[in-house]
Amino acid sequence: MYDLPRMLEKMGNGNLERSKQFSISGPEDGVFCAKASLKDRQHTMEVLIVIQEGTMEIVEVQGSITEAPHDPCPSSVEGLKSLIGMRIQPGLFSEMQRRVGGFKGCIHMNELIRESVQLVAAHRNLTDLRRMHEAGRTDEEMIEWAESVRSWTCVAAPEPVSNG
């Protein structure tokens, strides 16, 4: 039999509003830097991820949880260093979950990291497209390249991109 987690007075009273902020910069000095934060009535947390431009390898991760509903929550950032050396590539998120998910981590911190990594990948692709455009690459070449790196679909782009 399990005991219910300790419920703080401020939990479950009224509406829940959550704010997330993301900032992606780079590539400066060969790295992309992602900063993210989450704040709601129970949580205040931040994460910083530095990713090498050429290899897309995570070279630095820092996290902090300054407000959380349970005493052990802030300790979940201790395992974030195990993400160093991982590359942004297929299988990344399942490996991240294995390393810092479940009882070893914090689902909210993992969400911040995952969204940050996705934004870095998108920012890198836009940076590459801008460089191709500046180098005089044709629209057809850029579309071919974009299709080779696209791993998402949505209502705006359910099918391959076309030039017309």
pTM: 0.81
- According to the model, what pLDDT value does residue 148 have? 78
Torsion angle of alpha carbons 42, 102, 90, 149, nearest 10°? -10
- According to the model, what pLDDT value does residue 14 have? 73
- According to the model, what pLDDT value does residue 37 have? 97
pLDDT along the chain (164 residues), means of 10: 62 80 94 96 95 94 94 92 92 89 89 92 88 93 82 62 55
Q: Any long-range contacts for 80-85 (C-beta under 8 Å, 24+ apart)?
A: 80/47, 80/109, 80/113, 83/49, 83/58, 83/113, 84/58, 84/59, 84/60, 85/57, 85/58
Report the distance separating Cα 136 and Cα 146, nearest Å: 16
- According to the model, what pLDDT value does residue 22 have? 97
Q: Where are the domains of the chain?
A: 19-149
